[in-house]
Structure 1
């Protein structure tokens, strides 16, 4: 292939539309600390996403750290090993103990039955991930949390624009965090947001992301610097004008992959629940147990011809040195997560992926699969 094809490519707004926003920044001379574009983006995102309260941050990891501080989480937190490491790292940085439980093989999300089995007198919260943007079983998780008096923070990094029965998935749980990293369906280069359910909680979040300042002389909490700058807010405002078209292009690419791969033996694609309006953020393919050994061979071979896929999520978080000593990281405790981690391969998907490039990806993938 003439050029490398990456597993994703950032959505960029038209430069000619971005420049007038930059001119506003130069005119205002406000670069950070909640400038007018920052405030405008919060309002427009809340309206677009169908949420009440949104707090912009400079990145998703700081959101996770702050969300745990916001709810004053202590001791043990039940979470998934099948995610990006930031999910669990945020727990360690807050002095909390991750308790890993297994996942549902169809949704790739926490198995509610396993959650309940893992609850002890030390459990204070549940930190699920909406993996690939497919929602976790939010109703059962909330029921379990209510029964045991637990907080729920959703790592919703993948779920921009995802709805369940017409309602934003971000409105479930006590807090949800979104990522606007360059690899996500909606990006502001870096960044993200915490979605909260009431004005009092938003106020605490906003204090915490600005060193705990309530005003210029009053510090009310041991905060952090998670603020968003005006240039990235401007970038986000332009992006928002084009996100619907970008999501539609993703859907077309997803449907094309699904149609051409559905009859290929030995693999399956992600299951999308009927009540979900998805954002087509990833295209994971899962290898059957009998041919899972081919996954790494195909990953390497495709890389060799310039097609960069990703093994999201491999290896499991629970296998890293800082986690593998935990009782909950035991291999037998996480059998489904281990199977998926060793059999998943995400194919490239992004709005600018051409039909020609996609046909090449499919052709190479199938030829290697049937070798």
Structure 2
């Protein structure tokens, strides 16, 4: 490191790396009584007391009617598709984590990629209709970065063509629009409670269900298809959340509002500090009335003196591990790039955004001196 570098003192003070995210962990002492109760009951899984408590508590917090807990969000996506008996082709976004499309392949479904809106970075409703074929059975949009999709436009298209809508809502915990919880939109919404998410259960996920009958079918599917000790009604999988994960979720709910408030503060501070840096564009909100500030993506534009990848490398030199979410596009991975819809010519907006996006660190424990260092590195690269 060059000691004449104006950022030397800031970089030298970095005691440890700053990652793009860090899980929120409540006080360990507060988790011990939950574990003691599990040890006393000897019930570790199969819909125990904490599992039932967390389902009820999440329904109340998220303002939804029914929720089915899962061991992780990917199993929830796979099961959501099975529960609605989706086949054929499903229209989805190339701009997401690979689990979105992987869940389709696991079910023998052909993904059809459609480009994204340049402002919201979500699936562009204006491009969906052109991708519909006689084999299309559903649409799987993603509320990218927790910013809501144009749910009304998507639902109109689905209604016109008799299609199902399953939202990958992995980023959208607690997000609301003018009509209430976005998790109520579509036929099903799938959540992730992975350690990187705003609400985590170490590992975990859930499906938001519109009615008790749908939840019952999903509960059967996540438990091998068992209805009772001797009756199996479907080719289910083992997707159950353990009691330890559910108990941790109950504790996390005590602190979720505090964690979201801190995220909001960091988001606002970033926007203020980056506002004067030419060539750096902060991704705007997309109509949410309640946001969860799950990510902080910026776009590196042509006015910035160096490329996105060069900025990424400069941040890493200062032990700041920003991430290029989402680069490369799902459509560029080997198992997808042979699809006609995966052609870059079909996805100009997503291809462009993937080359310019950078998600900066954001999590409740991010300190002001870390935030100052992040912005200082970006500002230095802008000179």
Query: What pairs up with 1:1-371 in 2 under 5 angstroms?
Result: 1-165=14-178, 167-291=180-304, 294-370=307-383
| TM-aligned CA deviation for residue 293 of structure 1 | 5.6
The number of aligned residues is 370
Deviations 1:51-75 (A, max 9, x none): 0000000001101100000000010
| TM-aligned CA deviation for residue 294 of structure 1 | 1.2
Where do 4+ consecutive residues of structure 1 move more than 6 Å?
none
Question: Which structure 2 segments of 5+ residues have no match?
Answer: 1-13
Counterparts of 1:273 and 1:328, CA distance in 2: 26
Counterparts of 1:275 and 1:234, CA distance in 2: 30
Counterparts of 2:35 and 2:305, CA distance in 1: 49
Taking structure 1 as the reference length, the TM-score comes to 0.98
Query: In the alignment, is the contact (CA less than 8 A) between 1:54 and 1:202 conserved in 2?
Result: yes
RMSD across aligned positions (CA): 1.0
Deviations 1:11-53 (A, max 9, x none): 1011111111111101111000000000000000110000000
Deviations 1:237-284 (A, max 9, x none): 000000000000000000000001112111211111355311000000
Query: In the alignment, is the contact (CA less than 8 A) between 2:147 and 2:287 conserved in 1?
Result: no
Counterparts of 2:99 and 2:56, CA distance in 1: 27
Query: In the alignment, is the contact (CA less than 8 A) between 1:80 and 1:102 conserved in 2?
Result: yes
| TM-aligned CA deviation for residue 369 of structure 1 | 2.9
**2:47 aligned counterpart, secondary structure:** coil
Question: Which structure 1 segments of 5+ residues have no match?
Answer: none
Counterparts of 1:311 and 1:294, CA distance in 2: 12
Taking structure 2 as the reference length, the TM-score comes to 0.95
